[in-house]
Structure 1
């Protein structure tokens, strides 16, 4: 043992007399490179924002914050989804805790082909992997924010010319009992929107997606109900939350709806 270290008091390990457990203590918003496998068979190298927490028993004054950073850096240079559970278990062992949570949020890119011209472009989605361990049980959740187009059925019904539409964010958080591709969650949501989005469109494509949205109007309530209906039929998904926020084009507020599985 280093003699200098021996002389420095470990304040975090000193007892606390207030007899209050802390549910979550740790670090937030630390960036680290990760590698994510996509459905095409490739690997995406990206940077994730990590939040890492452990449960702190009432008899400890504090946790060792530096150990969270050590755990990230002691793994491979890039962290993969495959070792996500291992990182969480290492964290609990290292910090002598029985429960903990790790969240990593990162941009994920899908190569999309425009519907008429076929021109390809990348579209980014915000993805969060959420892992937690309690009573030695690992729980895995995936959260994806999917931007789509929604067109107002009421506006279409009452207007002589056109209908107002807007970009919407659908947020799906699922707890899974088996491996689920990010692309499958994205596809499920996009097919239930008035139209999906693309990074690049030519004029024939723009005509197509505009008319597709007009022919497929959706209230924010329609969006969450249609998506929830499809999620209910997926055996790999044990629970979910579906949220939709429409950034209204004729109001200075958003329309919002949410369904949470029971």
Structure 2
């Protein structure tokens, strides 16, 4: 039996009437200037506004970017999430927000590559456009790299999350900082030691944050690949997008041969970073997603090589 209901055809008001029904009103008479030269510019008001501001700008700006890498693929397009800021003098009411995105659009038109040289130029030009003492930018993006299985050599794509921070000051110059967050495998040394057989393992999430020397030359070494190697080479094993049975045997045996506490991981990574001359300061953190506990295990180490005494 067909229970489909039928309804009489509706007669709808026209679109203008529908908009009016839902609150649209007629435009009011226009009295304010339409030419830019006659418009009020509140941001450029000069008075005593009580305090200097550390930073003012825009954040969560998503935009396509181009990345170059020493690992395959050598060139890739991804999405960057930007923050742009500058300081603001006590005498200035505000900053011109449109100049941040206007400059972003200009750089994109010429191919916005995520290399440190380009980003340094961006920050310096931004400070000049804003007529401020300084300007900063921060961009985070997923970075993809090819990974081969250890035995079959089948290839797939892994990814890590990278961040670049550039601060330009007309008197102090540049401050460069980068970070990389990557995932690893860790196998519990305690579990291996006390159990008759097997040992539990977990996914480790390593984040490496470093300050770079101003003379660091990105054309000679890829910081992304270097930080990734520091994280992965000190793990129990690396993660792989594709593993067949012979690969899985190799990876699990490697993890068993290289047990790591979360404390071990951050110390070993720190040792690698300490030996890199272009890194002036670093912070390493690791969070292990425990497989036999409801909690996670965490560890952090920070070190400033510029404050060392000899």
Q: Where on the TM-score scale, by shorter chain, does this alignment land: which range?
A: over 0.9
2:183 to 134, 147, 160: 147
Residue 16 of structure 1: how far off its partner (Å) = 4.7
Whether contact under 8 Å (2:71, 2:225) holds in the other structure is: no
Whether contact under 8 Å (1:55, 1:100) holds in the other structure is: yes
Cα distance in 2 for partners of 1:94, 1:254 equals 46
Residue 37 of structure 1: how far off its partner (Å) = 1.2
Residue 192 of structure 1: how far off its partner (Å) = 0.2
Tell me whether 1:259 sits opposite 2:291 in the alignment.
Answer: no
Cα distance in 2 for partners of 1:75, 1:55 equals 22
What's the TM-score once normalised by structure 1's chain length? 0.95
Residue 91 of structure 1: how far off its partner (Å) = 0.9
Tell me whether 1:108 sits opposite 2:140 in the alignment.
Answer: no
Secondary structure class of the residue paired with 1:225: helix
Partner of 2:212: 176
Residue 251 of structure 1: how far off its partner (Å) = 1.8
Secondary structure class of the residue paired with 1:210: helix
Partner of 1:192: 234
Partner of 1:69: 101
Partner of 1:123: 158
Gaps of 5+ in 1: none
Cα distance in 1 for partners of 2:47, 2:54 equals 15
> What number of residue pairs does the alignment pair up?
261
Cα distance in 1 for partners of 2:146, 2:239 equals 12
Q: Encode CA deviations 1:155-194: one digit per residue, 9 max, x unaligned.
A: 1112223111111111011122212411121112111001
Cα distance in 2 for partners of 1:27, 1:3 equals 26
Partner of 1:22: 53
Tell me whether 1:52 sits opposite 2:103 in the alignment.
Answer: no
**RMSD value, Cα:** 1.6
Cα distance in 2 for partners of 1:170, 1:16 equals 47
Cα distance in 2 for partners of 1:40, 1:210 equals 25
Cα distance in 2 for partners of 1:169, 1:161 equals 26
Matches within 5 A, 1:203-214: 203-214=245-256
Residue 18 of structure 1: how far off its partner (Å) = 3.8
Tell me whether 1:11 sits opposite 2:42 in the alignment.
Answer: yes
Partner of 2:131: 96
Residue 13 of structure 1: how far off its partner (Å) = 1.2
Cα distance in 2 for partners of 1:38, 1:117 equals 24
Cα distance in 2 for partners of 1:230, 1:217 equals 18
Q: Encode CA deviations 1:182-229: one digit per residue, 9 max, x unaligned.
A: 112111211100111111111111111111111111111100100111
Partner of 1:85: 120
Q: Which has the higher contact order (CA 8 A, sep 6+)?
A: 1
Whether contact under 8 Å (2:49, 2:93) holds in the other structure is: no
Whether contact under 8 Å (1:173, 1:240) holds in the other structure is: yes
Partner of 1:160: 196
Cα distance in 2 for partners of 1:24, 1:253 equals 37
Residue 259 of structure 1: how far off its partner (Å) = 1.0
Cα distance in 2 for partners of 1:206, 1:101 equals 45
